[in-house]
Amino acid sequence: MKTPFDLPASKLPQVGTTIFTEMSALARVHGALNVSQGFPDFEPPAPLVAAVSSAMQSGAAANQYAPMAGHMVLREWVAEDMAERFGVSYDPEDEVTIGAGASSLIFAAIQAWVGENDEVILMEPAYDLYAPAVRLAGGVIRRVERRAEDDGVDFDTLRAVLDRRTRLVILNSPHNPTGACMSPEDLETLHQVLAGSHAILLSDEVYGPIVHDGRPVTSVAAHPGLAERSLVAQSFGKILHATGWKVGSLVGPAGLMEEVRKVHQYDVFSTAGPMQLGIAAFLRSEAGQEHLAGLSAMYSAKRNRLLNGIRDTCWRFRPAQGGFFQTLSYQGFLDAPDGLVTRAWTRSSDIRLATIPVSAFYDARHPMRTTSTRIRICFAKGDDTIDLATEKLRWIAANPEAAAQAVHMKA
């Protein structure tokens, strides 16, 4: 339908359809194996589904609006979990909020605490939600690149960029897309960098308990000096294999949370009531505790299955430290930008493999947009999917000329 007047200028002129939506759509159109978007292709735990179904059938009240901040039974579980894992005390009444996925709460936190011309530090490559949310809030983005050698936080550059105008620092660990994780030593260094500043720390920890190779599970909440200035976002969808349910939590000091809730109440307001009740019941059950205890081992086995399948090929990689993404580099056997490569390989009848270009996690003007040779693969998949992805990756490595031809034919 055509509008009868000229539209005003876009508030996000550089923003189009997200790369995740685009690649999943390409995969559907071309019948490609989809290991791009971060969702499992296996069922959530059966006792969890039963608990949510039971909540839905428990009476009319369970299916009506949940409290704005979330059902207390789930907020209490979050507070107890944070105390047990990290030794930090949050009051479920005013320091824990449930939202429509961690994304809604991260967005609300940015809108609540970033004002016109406030500076926000992002660490690239960065998840694509952060920058548009900052722009909508009127903030100014300052970018810090992660260390090339290990994808860790570059604390020296962060220290140089941080100043009195910095309102917010956004952290992500386990990191999407690289899988890099903060160590306890990193948390202490971050504390020293931020000490004396007035910056709020917004920590995206949606893959939080999923770590590999026996690494400790860390959170900024575990460091008292960081916890007092931090809002920590977590995702039930990620840890319960139910991303479509879109239920997440945010914890932080009451003074920080109060402002977030002012935005939350006019945005999401109320999040899927029976799902909250069912999730809380499951997490308090023996089955729920067993599920959480087995998360890291399960995802580590999936990561290892993928990497062992390509270890003797020319693919280059550093094993992900946490989360359920692995980045791979084709540098050395193909010379083309990853945005072009991933789209071409999704369409190619010889390959039909949908992945995510790591360049999509950089600003549109960044040189990595045209020079990156890294792709992101989601290994939160069944063994058959992982094995089929491995076969396709091995074919690419064994047939570099054909893989390159597929790229140039589709350019």
Percentages of the chain per state (helix, strand, coil), in multiples of 5: 45, 15, 40
Residue closest to 213 by CA, chosen among 321, 56, 355: 321
For residues 279 and 302, membership in a common domain is answered with: no
Report if residue 6 sits inside a domain: no
CATH of the domain at 315: 3.90.1150.10
Domain count, the chain: 2
Report if residue 226 sits inside a domain: yes
Report if residue 241 sits inside a domain: yes
Cite the beta strand spans of 24-179 per DSSP E.
Answer: 33-34, 96-99, 119-124, 140-145, 166-172
Give the C-alpha distances (Å, rounded to integers) separating 316 from 145, 153, 215, 216.
21, 21, 22, 26
Report if residue 177 sits inside a domain: yes
Question: Is the Cβ–Cβ distance between 230 and 79 less than 8 Å?
Answer: no
For residues 74 and 192, membership in a common domain is answered with: yes
Question: Which of 231, 266, 284 is the C-terminal boundary of a domain?
Answer: 284
Question: Is the Cβ–Cβ distance between 386 and 326 less than 8 Å?
Answer: no
For residues 91 and 32, membership in a common domain is answered with: no
For residues 146 and 245, membership in a common domain is answered with: yes
For residues 34 and 62, membership in a common domain is answered with: no
For residues 234 and 309, membership in a common domain is answered with: no
Task: Supply the range of the domain harboring residue 68.
Answer: 46-284
- The letter for the amino acid at 265 is Q
For residues 23 and 165, membership in a common domain is answered with: no
Question: Which of 263, 284, 305 is the C-terminal boundary of a domain?
Answer: 284
Report if residue 13 sits inside a domain: no
Report if residue 2 sits inside a domain: no
For residues 279 and 390, membership in a common domain is answered with: no
For residues 150 and 251, membership in a common domain is answered with: yes
Report if residue 289 sits inside a domain: no
pTM: 0.96
Question: Is the Cβ–Cβ distance between 353 and 374 less than 8 Å?
Answer: no
For residues 260 and 304, membership in a common domain is answered with: no
Question: Which of 284, 317, 349 is the C-terminal boundary of a domain?
Answer: 284
Euclidean distance between CA atoms 212 and 210, whole angstroms: 7
CA-CA-CA-CA torsion for 393, 398, 401, 404, nearest 10 degrees? 10
For residues 353 and 370, membership in a common domain is answered with: yes
The pLDDT tens digits along the chain (411 residues) read 778 888 888 888 888 889 999 999 999 999 999 999 999 999 999 999 999 999 999 999 999 999 999 999 999 999 999 999 999 999 999 999 999 999 999 999 999 999 999 999 999 999 999 999 999 999 999 999 999 999 999 999 999 999 999 999 999 999 999 999 999 999 999 999 999 999 999 999 999 999 999 999 999 999 999 999 999 999 999 999 999 999 999 999 999 999 999 999 999 999 999 999 999 999 999 999 999 999 999 999 999 999 999 999 999 999 999 999 999 999 999 999 999 999 999 999 999 999 999 999 999 899 999 999 999 999 999 999 999 999 999 999 999 999 999 998 744
| DSSP run (H or E) holding 305 | helix 286-310
For residues 269 and 341, membership in a common domain is answered with: no
CATH of the domain at 106: 3.40.640.10
Report if residue 12 sits inside a domain: no
